[in-house]
Amino acid sequence: MFGLMMNTPLLISAIAEHAARYHGGREIVSVTADNPRHRYTYGDCIGRAKKLANALNGLGAKRGDRVATLAWNDYRHLEAYYGISGAGHVCHTINPRLFPEQLVFIINHAEDRWIFTDVMFVPLLEAIADKIPNVEGFVVMTDEAHMPETQLSNVMCYESLIADESDEFDWPEFDEQTASALCYTSGTTGDPKGVLYDHRSTLLHAYAAVAPDVMSMSSRDVVLPVVPLFHVNSWGSPYAAFMAGAKLVLPGPKMGDGEVLCELLDSEDVTLSLGVPTVWLALLQYCEKTGKRLDKLQRTLIGGAAVPRSMIQEFRDKHDVEVRQGWGMTETSPLGVASTLKAGLENRSPDEKLDFAAKAGRGIFGCELRIVDEEGSALPWDGEAYGPLQVRGPWVCSDYFKLDGSAGTHTDDGWFDTGDVATIDPEGYMAITDRTKDVIKSGGEWISSIELENTIMAHPAVAEAAVIGIAHPKWTERPLLVVVKAEGQDVTGDELLAFYEGRVAKWWIPTDVEFVDELPHTATGKVKKIELRRQFKDYQLSG
């Protein structure tokens, strides 16, 4: 027997309508390339998204067509999110930090018909224009006064494109599993793979994101997503904020700049911010140097890479900011777990609480987890056993765009193999020990590079650290610690190795230390281990 409840489809346009009706006057503040502080409201945003939807119809866009964006976080990009997906097209967010060959690959693979671009990425597109012949037009997201000279053909100015369009638009109704957005994983090997989100997955994920033990986002919050709109839909924040009615602050092209961030956080009364650890490193360093305090910020959601315990501690002790770690992937929309304190753990010591906060987090309803052994049998949740992490749920991808199961990432019983190795403790907190391919194998056992990195991050002379495995004739591999020193600090390799004593198992302590000026980062701000391994491929260990 079926229930008798309405089957109204979960559509992104419904969030837009909700935001316009209930939070129409709530502010959206953007830093853009042509305006240091643009202000308007949710009502304005949705009106302009509807103008864009009308303009796309005028261009001949059909349901399911891919319309790409190549842009930083600002209000025009946000309008594109709602205008494109709401009208039934697929918003393909492109990461501008990809190599030109990867850009060419994903634009052609996605069969993008139009690309909406920031002015600053026009040269990038000019350089590859002859290799993306199926793109019918480029829309530069600025006004006529700021239009660049360009050799691109069929170029339109965003403001002119929408200027004469109506701000009335009847959002179409369609199946909630219709594709809404497309994001390619910046795979370190092989071609990038496209994750194709749908309206249903996006809305369910947004409901989860606003929940108290996840982002805890309400209409009283002011949210600054430092995570790019091209990185897993900015972790769903544009949908969650519209659903909640939170004020949104979009940092534009200077997202990684500590000074810009600090000023925005303070002057716009930001209560919640989201970003990868490298972003916070820059902010905390800036605060340390200038003596600034983050008085208004209440919490940060940090994920995309392991969050060093020392970072959580610094936020807590110096700024009274709660760090919520999250784990997720492009394939999981991305939220999979979040690390808030469970009932029953309140009376633990501050140190123990920090231990929980330093884990990736505990399960969010909607994303099931399991860890398995080599035969695929479930491992115990004892905080000790580790193995490949598998997930499933309504916002986890069931396949990649146009790969028809050939990626080999899904198990026969319908779970997605994340490529991460993890432990899960009896309280349900999951901790990532490594990416499968980054695990260091020493003497038949595994060493967690993440734990070695997190441990050394607590040393005051270390600004950033990465650990990689170097081939060893006896042990198969031994860890090499690669360190960027904190500004004005000096330290020797031996001092750093001594710091590990008593903090990790003796045989885990890296064999050698190398100092570098900077570490290579991926397009989404994570340390690029593959590049680091390449840099040190001929490295001779001292022991």
DSSP calls for 411-463: -TTS-EEEEEEEEE-TTSEEEEEEEGGG-EEETTEEE-HHHHHHHHHTSTTEE
Using the rule CB under 6 A, which residue among 95, 330, 340, 442 binds ligand AMP? Answer: 330
Residues 152-191 that bind ligand AMP (CB under 6 A): 185-186
How much is the CA Rg of the chain, to the nearest whole Å?
23
Question: Please, which residue, 198 or 453, has the CB nearer to ligand AMP?
Answer: 453
Amino acid in position 304: G
Q: Are 30 and 252 in contact (CB under 8 A)?
A: yes
Active site includes 136? no
Per CB under 6 A, 61 contacts ligand AMP: no
**Closest separation in Å from C-beta 434 to ligand AMP:** 8
Active site includes 446? yes
Q: Which residues pair with 23 in a beta bridge?
A: none
Instruction: Exactly one of 17, 126, 136, 185 is catalytic; name it.
Output: 185
Residues 261-320 that bind ligand AMP (CB under 6 A): 303-306
Q: Which residues pair with 185 in a beta bridge?
A: 193
Q: How many CA atoms lie within 13 A of 185 on its CB side?
A: 24
Helix (H, G, I), strand (E, B) or coil at 344: coil
Task: Fill in the per-residue mask, 382 to 421: x = in contact with ligand AMP (CB under 6 A), - = not in contact.
Answer: ------------------------------------xxx-
Residue located via tokens 């305006």: 35
Cα–chain center distance at 288: 25
Question: Please, which residue, 247 or 359, has the CB nearer to ligand AMP?
Answer: 359
Using the rule CB under 6 A, which residue among 83, 88, 256, 334 binds ligand AMP? Answer: 334
Question: Please, which residue, 138 or 400, has the CB nearer to ligand AMP?
Answer: 400
Instruction: Exactly one of 126, 254, 411, 446 is catalytic; name it.
Output: 446
Nearest-angstrom CA–CA distance, 270 and 286:
17
Per CB under 6 A, 432 contacts ligand AMP: yes
Q: Are 233 and 181 in contact (CB under 8 A)?
A: yes
Using the rule CB under 6 A, which residue among 85, 325, 340, 442 binds ligand AMP? Answer: 325
Instruction: Exactly one of 136, 441, 476, 531 is catalytic; name it.
Output: 441
**Closest separation in Å from C-beta 97 to ligand AMP:** 12
**Closest separation in Å from C-beta 401 to ligand AMP:** 15
* Per rule CB under 6 A, count of chain residues that contact ligand AMP: 20
Residues 69-128 that bind ligand AMP (CB under 6 A): none
Q: Are 94 and 107 in contact (CB under 8 A)?
A: yes
Question: Please, which residue, 20 or 456, has the CB nearer to ligand AMP?
Answer: 456
The CB-nearest residue to ligand AMP is 330
Residues 434-453 that bind ligand AMP (CB under 6 A): 435
Active site includes 423? no
**Closest separation in Å from C-beta 195 to ligand AMP:** 8
Question: Please, which residue, 93 or 186, has the CB nearer to ligand AMP?
Answer: 186
Amino acid in position 59: L
Question: Please, which residue, 451 or 512, has the CB nearer to ligand AMP?
Answer: 451
Instruction: Exactly one of 331, 453, 464, 477 is catalytic; name it.
Output: 331
Q: Are 93 and 69 in contact (CB under 8 A)?
A: yes
What are the tokens at 385? 């056993």
CB atoms closer than 10 angstroms to residue 439: 18
Nearest to 201 by CA among 6, 11, 391, 404: 11
Angle between helices 309-319 and 449-457 (to 10 degrees): 30
β-strand 193-198 against 222-225: which pairing, if any? unpaired
Question: Please, which residue, 96 or 245, has the CB nearer to ligand AMP?
Answer: 96
Per CB under 6 A, 524 contacts ligand AMP: yes
Per CB under 6 A, 256 contacts ligand AMP: no
The H or E element containing residue 183 is strand 179-185
Using the rule CB under 6 A, which residue among 52, 214, 226, 232 binds ligand AMP? Answer: 232
Residue located via tokens 């989201």: 274
Question: Please, which residue, 102 or 524, has the CB nearer to ligand AMP?
Answer: 524
**Closest separation in Å from C-beta 222 to ligand AMP:** 24
Q: Is 10 exposed, middle or buried (0-12, 13-18, 19+ CB in 10 A)?
A: middle
What are the tokens at 291? 């003596």
Active site includes 235? no
Using the rule CB under 6 A, which residue among 71, 103, 360, 456 binds ligand AMP? Answer: 360
**Closest separation in Å from C-beta 191 to ligand AMP:** 15
Q: Is 244 exposed, middle or buried (0-12, 13-18, 19+ CB in 10 A)?
A: buried
**Closest separation in Å from C-beta 306 to ligand AMP:** 4
Q: Are 285 and 463 in contact (CB under 8 A)?
A: yes
Nearest to 278 by CA among 477, 144, 457: 457
**Closest separation in Å from C-beta 358 to ligand AMP:** 10
Catalytic center residues: 185, 331, 441, 446
Contacting residues toward ligand AMP, per CB under 6 A: 185-186, 232, 303-306, 325, 327-330, 334, 360, 418-420, 432, 435, 524
